[in-house]
Chain A
């Protein structure tokens, strides 16, 4: 069983650019959540996708957007990058919407904005 994978591992961008991060969910999982983890902080919820529809969103501006594809993989897009967007971006998948389901996390993408 393949776990959650994310690409790329590391990324360096400059302020004002746009970035796309990718996530492949664990086999059989139809729900994907994205989190932003700033250095020394706990992860913060960005949004969740269930069967290609956004199912919930945290307190992030509209320049953070996402997609989920029919195979349940997902993308996180960030436009007009700011220095504060530098963080570890974590993707997590789960087998459905039940609250008790564990979220399985990927290794993350480290984004640096210069």
Chain B
């Protein structure tokens, strides 16, 4: 079974600074997807960024980028120019393909990000 580990329960960053959230995972599969989701206090989970395991190029979405190290099974999220609205719980998720197709997400325990003025 796949496992996802987020070793930082809480992180703090100053507004406009850069922060990196760590994630490692364990799998024997070669084809999978990785995701970072954000869950603000409103509870609605929002996709931040996704990475296909077969792609060597790291995904980027505006101020959000990842450092995907497949051999090390590491998938960290970098947030540049942090904003107050970035404060939330961030979950790293591993998506493995179900037998019938489709994606089953396995989540880590989350990192609570605080953004300070």
- Using a CB–CB cutoff of 8 Å, the interface residues on chain A facing chain B are 31, 33, 35, 40-45, 48, 50, 55-56, 58, 88, 90, 92, 94, 97-108
Contacts and interface: CB of A to CB of B under 8 A. Distances in A.
Given A42-B91, A48-B98, A56 B104 contact: yes
Contacts, number: 78
A55 B97 contact: no
A55 B98 contact: yes
19 contacts: A33-B102, A41-B109, A42-B93, A42-B108, A45-B106, A50-B102, A55-B98, A55-B100, A55-B102, A56-B99, A56-B100, A88-B43, A94-B102, A99-B95, A100-B33, A102-B50, A104-B47, A105-B46, A107-B44
Interface size class of chain B, counting residues whose CB lies under 8 Å from the partner chain: 20 to 34
A58 B106 CA distance: 10
Contacts of B99: 56
Given A55-B98, A56-B99, A99-B33, A45 B104 contact: yes
Contacts of A43: 45, 91, 105, 107
Contacts of B33: 99-100
B42 interface: yes
Most chain A Cβ neighbours within 10 Å, of B50, B98, B99: B98
Most chain A Cβ neighbours within 10 Å, of B33, B97, B101, B103: B103
Contacts of A31: 102
B108 to A, nearest CB: 5
A101 B93 CA distance: 13
Contacts of A44: 107
A90 B91 CA distance: 14
A97 B101 contact: yes
Interface string B16-60: 000000000000000111010100001111110010100000000
